[in-house]
Amino acid sequence: MHERPTIIADRAGREYAAAKSDEHKKTHGQYLTPEPVAEFMAGLYAPPKKECIRVLDPGAGTGVLSCALLERLAGTPHIHLTAYEFDKGLAPLLHECLDYARRWLATKGTELGFDIRTTDFVLENAHHMDGSLFRNTEEPYDVVISNPPYFKLNKADARAQAASFVVHGQPNIYAIFMAISAYMLRAGGELVFIVPRSFAAGPYFRLFRERFFALMRPEHIHLFGSRKDAFAKDEVLQEHVILRAKRQDGWKATGRATITSSAGIGDLDRSRKRSALLRDLVDLATVNKHLFIPTSDHDEQIIELVHTWQGKLHAYGFEISTGPVVPFRATEFITSEEATPLLWMQHVVPMRVMHPLPMRKQQYIVSNDDSAYLLLPNRNYVLLRRFSAKEEERRLIAAPYIAGEFQPHDLVGFENHVNYIHKPKGELSIEEAYGIAALLNCRILDDYFRTYNGNTQVSATELRSTPLPPLEIIREIGAKVREARMSNGILNDYVSTVLLNGGDDGKAGRRASHP
């Protein structure tokens, strides 16, 4: 027994994955955990001094995570592991790997008992969430370690309905795994999960965050900075995080948590490490309960600065909406012949709306009684791209849309990948349009947004909840930016200076170090 159990399980997993089609892996949401990641995750757990430790792995695969944790627990007198694996083809391999681990642990003085279940983890355990308070399980777990499956569920799916206590809209199954696991822990128990970062923000995960953070206190967060490197050979297009959290019902946001970060697997052993205030990670007093992940002093200072601002879009009488033109539903109206302008995401560049452009997309829309519901009055707006490219440097890209620049048209069309900020009772002033756009293009807001949003989508809901400086500061910025016609670099420096210094009257907020 010269090889460690983790090595055995990792090899079995790689061989199994190589023999399966991409479609099989996608259907099962399988992204098997690389061995270095498994060992890193297991190393985060601080085992209690107990005679018997109960372990749950709700998406075990070939057991690489379980085996890494079992190695860490070697020397504990008794361990009991419950491992779920719904893929019937993986279950025999999982049994072989855990049986090897059992014999390996016996040489270390540890007795391992394990139970492999090929049933659906969600359907079998969703009853642990009763809709109000934790319903004690007969045998709560000391630790849950998991790389859960990752795919969206239809809201009519039996698993989504069984876990309706924590889901909204079209949920992703990984968040349901996290929530149920939290409810299956004992008080003081810990979970260690590797998951996409998307749960940290956005309306679809708001209810999950509310329920989850009512129970679980973050202890350690590791951020993989690249969307491509956490699972080396799989097409995973979201940033991933490893979260270690402790079951502590009704915890208060006092104390600190550890933040580590790496580009991917290759530099995992050289991760950057820092300590952060819990109050800067999860604002328990807000409805959204976003999870912020500041990986530097600069990030933490930006969060502190922005959270001093008291303004919001709604507070200033503004609204943000999504462009109503869905191309495949409006093909009869969209044309390449000159008509009412139709603005796509590509037309929005920092501080400029460029139309028309040399591109294949049809850039006009017919204006008549049948298409009237798709068109908007030709007024002042701020346009914002809803999506960014996978590795794009800037997440927020906004531009002022000034009505006079598109005369003589009375109407305009915005495609569905464009968000637009408007004033329902009135119209944005030119200074407001320029000021809001400049603020959104500033690195301060972009960096703030990145501390809690790790995917490519810019949600209107998130922007509604984003704090804003006083309206007079926004107008001051807009007037200056419009007058000076600044380049992007000079604009960023100017806006950052105004925000950090509080404008002419010092009302924007406390100082932070310059970005």
Indicate the residue among 243, 270, 296 that finishes a domain. 296
330 and 292 within one domain: no
Return phi, psi of residue 155, to 5°.
Answer: -65, -15
Number of domains present in the structure of the chain: 2
Asked if residue 238 and residue 190 are part of one domain, the reply reads yes
Can you tell me the distance from the alpha carbon of 137 to that of 433, in angstroms, rounded to the nearest whole number?
55
Cα separations in angstroms, 226 against 293, 393, 474 = 14, 12, 33
Considering the domain architecture, whether residues 435 and 348 belong to the same structural domain is answered as: yes
Contact status, residue 44 vs residue 37, Cβ threshold 8 Å: no
Same domain membership, residue 233 and residue 373? no
Length of the chain in residues, anyone?
Answer: 515
The answer to whether residues 328 and 290 belong to one domain is no
DSSP secondary structure string, 32-57?
PPPHHHHHHHHHH------SEEEEEE
Distance CA(187)–CA(175), nearest Å, equals: 20
212 and 290 inside one domain: yes
Q: Are residues 378 and 476 in the same domain?
A: yes
Q: Is residue 410 part of a domain?
A: yes
Q: Does 431 fall in a domain? A: yes
Determine, yes or no, domain membership for 513.
no
Q: Give the residue from 296, 324, 355 where a domain finishes.
A: 296
Do both 205 and 134 map to the same domain?
Answer: yes
pLDDT score recorded for residue 477: 96
Q: Could you tell me which residues come within 8 angstroms of residue 29 by beta carbon, excluding any fewer than 6 positions away? A: 148, 149, 150, 151, 173, 174
Q: Dihedral angle at the C-alpha atoms of 179, 205, 34, 5, nearest 10 degrees?
A: 0
In order along the chain (515 residues), what is the average pLDDT of each group of 10 residues? Answer: 93 88 65 91 95 97 97 97 93 97 97 97 91 56 96 90 84 94 96 94 90 97 73 55 97 95 91 94 89 94 94 97 97 96 96 95 97 97 86 84 86 97 97 97 94 84 94 96 88 93 54 38
C-alpha distance from residue 409 to each of 72, 259, 339, 444, 452 (Å) = 69, 52, 9, 35, 39
**Which pair of tokens denotes residue 245?**
């959290």
Of 261, 296, 331, which closes a domain? Answer: 296
| 92 and 203 inside one domain | yes
The Cα–Cα gap between 387 and 389 comes to: 7
Q: How confident is the model over 333-361, as pLDDT tens digits?
A: 999 999 999 999 999 999 999 999 999 99
pLDDT in the model for residue 237: 40
Task: Determine, yes or no, domain membership for 156.
Answer: yes
Burial class of residue 271, CB neighbours in 10 A (0-12, 13-18, 19+): middle
d(CA 462, CA 441): 16
In a domain, 397, yes or no: yes
Alpha-carbon gap, residue 211 to 287, rounded angstroms: 12
Residue 370, domain CATH = 3.90.220.20
Is 509 among the domain residues? no
Kindly report the CATH number assigned to the domain that includes residue 54: 3.40.50.150
Tell me the residue range of the domain where 371 lies: 314-501
pLDDT of residue 487: 82
Query: Does 385 lie in the same domain as 276?
Result: no
Listed residue (361, 354, 464, 460) closest to 415, CA to CA: 361
Task: Return the pLDDT at 24.
Answer: 65
- Domain membership of residue 515 (yes or no) is no
Instruction: Say whether both 153 and 258 belong to one domain.
Output: yes
pLDDT attached to residue 391: 56
Residue 292 covered by a domain: yes
Angle between helices 64-72 and 5-19 (to 10 degrees): 170
Same domain, 339 and 247: no
